[in-house]
Amino acid sequence: MKVYISIDMEGVSGVVHNEHTSERGFDYDLARRLMMGEANAAVEGAVAAGATEVLVSDSHGGNGARNLLIDTLHQAADLVTGFPRPLGQLAGLDAYYVVLLLVGYHTRSNAAGVINHTVHGRAINRLTIGGRELGEIGINALLAAQVGVPVGLVTGDELTCAEALDLLPGLETATVKWAVDRYAARCLSPRQAQATIRAAAERAVRGARSLKPFAPKHPAAWEIQYKDSGMAEVASQVPGTTMVQDDTIAYEAPDASTGFKTFTAALAVAAATLVR
């Protein structure tokens, strides 16, 4: 039984600031150890539930998605690390996995929550797919659904868990911190957070066969509002996209993975304007 664990950093207990999530941050070394602890807790839960193969994805963009410390990785798991890569936070996911666990995740842009954003906080203001505003939980649920894999667990702050339950009723959640502000939270101790994640991951894998993948909802219109009009202007050079507002592009995607490819290409050229 194959289990896929994608772990981001903003939703890890103790992480509340760019000083944690950036490789140049004062607290980055602490944060990556905390992230590794939560990843291993999820692996332990999956193995306890009978997983025979576990793939962990380092899904945080900081340091080029090379945040996890492989020298302390649980021996039952392999690690996908580094960037860029196809499918982003789900690199290597295919139809042979029984369930996807999203650990250390965060709320979408335009929603409250600790370090909320959608994929790129300085470039993307809003993403809607089929008329619904989605963040990283929603994007990954759609990509996984295309290969028939359900999301079984989301962990992070309490608002992230609520966003997940709103999109995917019936999945397991594990709250490891409570948002006080975008840059402040009441946090569980790492030991307690990891115990909570371990138990939730075990429940999620045991219950995986009764979960249904997110409805694919494609073909669908993808609409991306950027932080400024200059980003939209260069993003609209990607074939198949059109500008629909001064700061917004749109395109029709036949399926989630094609929509995500266009999203990724458009983001790369849009974000390139940040260094000017």
To Zn ion, the closest distance from the beta carbon of 48 in angstroms equals 27
Cβ closer to Zn ion: 118 or 241? Answer: 118
Q: How many residues bind Zn ion (CB under 5 A)?
A: 4
Cβ closer to Zn ion: 9 or 55? Answer: 9
| Cα 197 from Cα 168, distance rounded (Å) | 18
List the one residue from 16, 34, 58, 60 that touches Zn ion (CB under 5 A).
60
- Residue 172 binds Zn ion, judged by CB under 5 A: no
Residue with the two structure tokens 């993307």: 124
Cβ closer to Zn ion: 58 or 223? Answer: 58
Cβ closer to Zn ion: 136 or 247? Answer: 136
Peptide bond into 213 cis (omega under 30): no
Distance from chain centroid for Cα 96: 20
**Among residue numbers 4 through 23, which ones bind Zn ion (CB under 5 A)?**
8-10
In 3D, which of 95, 84, 68, 52 has the Cα closest to residue 6?
68
Kindly indicate which of the ranges 3-11, 44-52, 137-145, 249-257 contains the residues binding Zn ion, using the contact rule CB under 5 A. Answer: 3-11
Cβ closer to Zn ion: 105 or 251? Answer: 105
- DSSP per residue, 22-89: STTSTTHHHHHHHHHHHHHHHHHHHHHTT-SEEEEEE---GGGG--S-GGG--TTEEEE--SS-TTGG
Quick one: CA dihedral 144, 104, 121, 82, positive or negative? negative
185 DSSP β-pair partners:
179
Binding site for Zn ion (CB under 5 A): 8-10, 60
